[in-house]
Each structure stands twice: as structure tokens, then as C-alpha cells.
């Protein structure tokens, strides 16, 4: 199969698993407008059927579902597939729970979510699913630092850092574009569950991240402060 690159979505298939019909329709509309194809499931059982039958390129998965709940759907998908899964949830606590379980979702969106943000995250998850030479799609490597999305673990020279879910998401986001200066607001958006804290919370997480890096024998200057802007994860061997 050789899909024609007609738009940004390039005909990639997104399985939308969402039991709120209006929301599901809206999401499908936006995705199709961007050139994606879509399938929709309104319960967990149907989601698994469609997943096997349609072989989607990405799954957008609501957690609160009839019949089989979203966590179970994710568990069963992960038993056989590395397909990118973006979780939709109504509660930030569910994100922490999932991260704690190391379930291997690629991203998390807390409702209500804007169409723009949803599309952006879908595209990022699809880009990241393209295998990188010498590295699994789920492990980002920056110098001695490894960000392992499967295990939800960050390692420095092989030593795992004990990170909170927010710290993990923060370093994961930075590791996607090493060397790039990232504004606090973007880090906030990427790492802190919606409506959870002030932008300042990012600073506190960075302080803790650096301490943990140091404790693992790493150089805390790997995460450099850019005054008045944000932070940058240095792209150098260390
Ligand atoms: Ca629901």
C-alpha cells in the first residue's frame, strides 16, 4: 500500500475511541480536514475489534468507556502492538495512574481539549512513531540521558532517575528537541496536567530534575537556564 501524500495527514488512519458522540464527531471532522482517515468506536469492545481489523496508524483513546474501559483497551493493544496511542481523559489523576503503571501511552490530553492542541499532539505522536536508526521509537537518547517512554523511565548513563510524572514529561518533551531553547509556557503546556499549577511549577521541577541528575552522577548543567525564556537540554555527550 502506498498512500498518496495529499495533505498533512497523508491518509493515515486514526482510530477514534470515544463514547461521547458529539465529541467523537468533532474530532473526526478535524482529523479528516487535515487529511487523515478515521474510524470510530464508541465502546472498548468495538475499539479492539476495529484495532485488529483496520490496523490504524494511531489510536486516540478515551479512558472512560462502556464495556471494556480505556486502560484495559490500552493494555490489550500494547500486548501486541507499538502503535502510537494518545490518551484522552477527563481527570488528571488518571494520567498519573497510567504513568505510574508504565502503560506505554505516547501522550495524554486532559479534556476539554482544543482541536488545535489535539491535532498537534496527534502529529507529534505519529512523527515519533517513525523508527529512528539505532534506537527504538520509544527511547530518546541525548548524550548519556535516555528517556524511555515504554518503561516511563529516565536513565542517566544507565542509572534510572526517580522522577515524578510531571518531571518525566518535562524531560521527555525537552529530549524530543535537544539543543532547542524551550519557553516556560511550552514546557508548562507539555509537562503539567491542564489547570494543575502555575508556570513557576516548571522551575521547581527543573530544580528537582537537576538534583536527581547530580545524584545519578550526571552534570546538572545539562539542563541550562536561558534567563527570561526557559530551559534547554544541552545536545552534547556527557
Ligand atoms: Ca468517556
- What's the rounded Cα separation, in Å, for the pair 156 and 168? 13
Please tell me the least confidently modeled range out of 46-50, 157-161, 191-195, 231-235: 191-195
What's the 18 CA to ligand 1 centre distance in angstroms?
6
What's the 95 CA to ligand 1 centre distance in angstroms?
15
Largest CA distance in the chain: 51
CA distances from 208 to 104, 164, 226 (A): 24, 10, 17
What's the 41 CA to ligand 1 centre distance in angstroms?
11
What's the 101 CA to ligand 1 centre distance in angstroms?
20
Q: In this model, does residue 121 exceed pLDDT 50? A: yes
Cβ-contact 220, 213 below 8 angstroms:
yes
What's the 64 CA to ligand 1 centre distance in angstroms?
4
Cell of 98: 497510567
- pLDDT confidence tier of residue 166, bands split at 50, 70 and 90: confident
Please tell me the least confidently modeled range out of 87-101, 153-167, 185-199: 185-199
Which residues of the chain form beta strands (DSSP E)?
Answer: 13-17, 37-41, 58-62, 85-89, 107-110, 139-142, 145-148, 153-156, 159-161, 182-183, 223-226, 230-233
Angle between helices 70-78 and 44-54 (to 10 degrees): 30
pLDDT at 193: 54
Which residues lie near ion ligand 1 (Cβ < 5 Å)? 19, 62, 64
Cell of 22: 458529539
What's the 58 CA to ligand 1 centre distance in angstroms?
18
- What's the rounded Cα separation, in Å, for the pair 157 and 52? 38
What's the 129 CA to ligand 1 centre distance in angstroms?
26
What's the 10 CA to ligand 1 centre distance in angstroms?
28
- Which residues, 6 or more positions from 66, have their beta carbon under 8 angstroms from its beta carbon? 19, 42, 43, 44
What's the 110 CA to ligand 1 centre distance in angstroms?
12
What's the 67 CA to ligand 1 centre distance in angstroms?
11
- What's the rounded Cα separation, in Å, for the pair 1 and 6? 15
What's the 7 CA to ligand 1 centre distance in angstroms?
30
User: How confident is the model over 178-207, as a mean pLDDT?
Assistant: 73
- pLDDT above 70 covers a percentage of the chain that reads 85
pLDDT at 145: 93
What's the 54 CA to ligand 1 centre distance in angstroms?
22
Higher per-residue confidence, 150 vs 28 = 28
Q: Hey, what domains does the chain have and what are their CATH numbers?
A: 13-128 (3.40.50.2300), 139-233 (1.10.10.10)
- What's the rounded Cα separation, in Å, for the pair 77 and 71? 10
What's the 169 CA to ligand 1 centre distance in angstroms?
24
- What's the rounded Cα separation, in Å, for the pair 105 and 223? 25
Amino acid at each position: 500500500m502506498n498512500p498518496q501524500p495529499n495533505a498533512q495527514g497523508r491518509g493515515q488512519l486514526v482510530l477514534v475511541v470515544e463514547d461521547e458522540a458529539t465529541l467523537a464527531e468533532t474530532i473526526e471532522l478535524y482529523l479528516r480536514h487535515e487529511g487523515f482517515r478515521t474510524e470510530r468506536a464508541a465502546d472498548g469492545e468495538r475499539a479492539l475489534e476495529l484495532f485488529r481489523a483496520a490496523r490504524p496508524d494511531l489510536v486516540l483513546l478515551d479512558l472512560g468507556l462502556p464495556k471494556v474501559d480505556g486502560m484495559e483497551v490500552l493494555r490489550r493493544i500494547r500486548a501486541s502492538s507499538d502503535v502510537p496511542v494518545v490518551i484522552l481523559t477527563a481527570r488528571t489523576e488518571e494520567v498519573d495512574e497510567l504513568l505510574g503503571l508504565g502503560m506505554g501511552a505516547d501522550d495524554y490530553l486532559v479534556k476539554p481539549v482544543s482541536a488545535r492542541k489535539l491535532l498537534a499532539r496527534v502529529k507529534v505522536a505519529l512523527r515519533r512513531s517513525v523508527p529512528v536508526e539505532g534506537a527504538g521509537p520509544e527511547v530518546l537518547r541525548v548524550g548519556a540521558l535516555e528517556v524511555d517512554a515504554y518503561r516511563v523511565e529516565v536513565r542517566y548513563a544507565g542509572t534510572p532517575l526517580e522522577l515524578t510524572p510531571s518531571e518525566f514529561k518535562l524531560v521527555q518533551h525537552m529530549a524530543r528537541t535537544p539543543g532547542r531553547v524551550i519557553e516556560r509556557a511550552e514546557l508548562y503546556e507539555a509537562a503539567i496536567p491542564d489547570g494543575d499549577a502555575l508556570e513557576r511549577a516548571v522551575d521547581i521541577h527543573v530544580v528537582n530534575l537537576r538534583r536527581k541528575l547530580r545524584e545519578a552522577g550526571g552534570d546538572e548543567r545539562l539542563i541550562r537556564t536561558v534567563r527570561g525564556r526557559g530551559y534547554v537540554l544541552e545536545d552534547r555527550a556527557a
